[in-house]
Amino acid sequence: MFHALIDELGLTDEERRIATDLHHNGYAVIDFPDPGIEERIERIKSRLASRFDVDLGDPAAVKTAGDIRRVQDAWKFDKDVLAISANSRIIELLSKLYGRRAFPFQTLNFPVGTQQHLHSDAIHFSSIPERFMCGVWLAMEDVHADAGPLTYLPGSNRWPILDNVMIGQRGWGRKVESAQSPFEAAWDAMVRTSGKQQEVFLARKGQALIWAANLLHGGSVQNDPTRTRWSQVTHYYFADCAYFTPAFSDEPLGQLDLRTVTNIATGKVEPNMFNGEVLERWAPREQEQKKGWGLWRAVRGSTQSYPVPTDFDPDTYLKLNPDVAASGQDASQHYSIHGHREGRPYRSGR
């Protein structure tokens, strides 16, 4: 329906170019829309460098940085990381292209290339309806060909999305070191039979790459181990969807590893939705442990939030619900949207 609908979207020439590239190739290159991006990048690099426990100005030390190559969700403590991820023009663009309100939910900051195997984000971050997720990768320095530039396979965004059923394994309740490694042989086979060739993105500082949920992408080999490759990735979801991790789900059995996602731009939890209705937990926890399926249902007429009790104490709630504390979510927001429906305790003795 793309060619039938694109004329109805009211796109500028540049937006039309981005939409067309994203549809056909699975990615689009843009200049990041922030007049202060140069200064913002330098502040981020200065503040985050110490978190990698290595002198990134020392070529010998950079060789070891690959083992400690990222900081996840730095938006929680770094205002510039937050500003990049919550950039209003990026959010407006993505919302216009996808037809639903976009919101950022995760950031990753890297000092060096990842050398990561080609993979699809659709096994890590999926949605119902599917494909309502995308990423934006920002180059925080000019990328040298020997620094392990970002690589991708044009057009792979339109391939079938792999799941556990397709590779003959179960995902629900599985504990593994790598969620994506079981899928790599299948991706490799698809690449071989397609005859497609990988491309690399030799980006200049301030350029960004938008990629679709199912685009195969990764990090190429870092031929010069002394070179840095500073970058920031922001992952975006879209409103009115259910958000889950396919690698740990068995979808045909209704066993969905649903996520609780926070909108970075607002600091609020975005509820899991199905056809306009909030998904909430309904089975007792004992039943969850025994059966593991049918754990969520859409509740007709349910509201997206519930008033926080007057005697609600955030610190006590986090102590009584350590999984919520570990996730870094706001206690009041979690109770308002999820906790009260799940019967979670919020005060001692309850």
DSSP string, 209-271: EEEETT--EEE---SSTT----EEEEEEEESSSEEE-GGG-BGGGTB--B--EEETTTTEEEP
Domain region containing 152:
2-242
pLDDT of the residue at 235: 98
- pLDDT tens digits for 78-130? 999 999 999 999 999 999 999 999 999 999 999 999 999 999 999 999 999 99
Residue 21 maps to a domain? yes
Chain-centroid distance, C-alpha 167 = 23
pLDDT of residue 192: 96
Query: Rounded mean pLDDT of 337-345?
Result: 76
Flag whether pLDDT at 289 surpasses 50.
no
Q: What is the pLDDT of residues 239-277, one digit of tens each?
A: 999 999 999 999 998 888 999 999 999 999 999 999 888
Cβ(87)–Cβ(107) below 8 Å? no
Kindly state whether residue 87 falls inside one of the protein's structural domains.
Answer: yes
Nearest to 199 by CA among 153, 159, 149: 153
Residue at 237 is within a domain = yes
Residue 310 has a pLDDT of 76
Give the per-residue pLDDT at 50. Answer: 83
d(C-alpha 212, C-alpha 21), whole Å: 10
The CATH number that applies at residue 116 is 2.60.120.620
> Would the pLDDT of 57 be above 80?
no
* CA–centroid distance for 155 within its chain: 20
Q: What percent of the chain has pLDDT over 90?
A: 66
Exposed / middle / buried, residue 285 (Cβ in 10 Å: 0-12, 13-18, 19+):
exposed
3-state DSSP assignment of residue 38: helix
Nearest residue to 304 (alpha-carbon basis) of 266, 262, 345, 276: 276
Report if residue 318 sits inside a domain: no
What is this structure's pTM?
A: 0.80
**pLDDT over 90 at 198, yes or no:** yes
What total of structural domains would you count in the chain? 1
Q: Are 16 and 25 in contact (CB under 8 A)?
A: no
Does residue 293 carry a pLDDT above 50?
A: no
Query: In this predicted structure, what is the pLDDT of residue 164?
Result: 94
| β-strand partners of 277 | 274
Helices 13-25 and 88-98: crossing angle in degrees, nearest 10, is 60
Please report whether residue 324 resides in a domain. no
State which H helix or E strand residue 291 sits in. Answer: helix 285-291
Query: Which of 162-176, 188-202, 277-291, 317-331 ranks highest by mean pLDDT?
Result: 188-202
Burial category of 52 from C-beta neighbours within 10 Å (exposed 0-12, middle 13-18, buried 19 and up): buried
In a domain, 266, yes or no: no
pLDDT at 345: 86
Residue 276 lies in a domain: no
- Give a yes or no: residue 251 inside a domain: no
What's residue 194's pLDDT?
95
Cβ–Cβ under 8 Å, residues 109 and 54: no
Q: Residue 287's pLDDT band (boundaries 50, 70, 90)?
A: very low
pLDDT greater at residue 25 or residue 284: 25
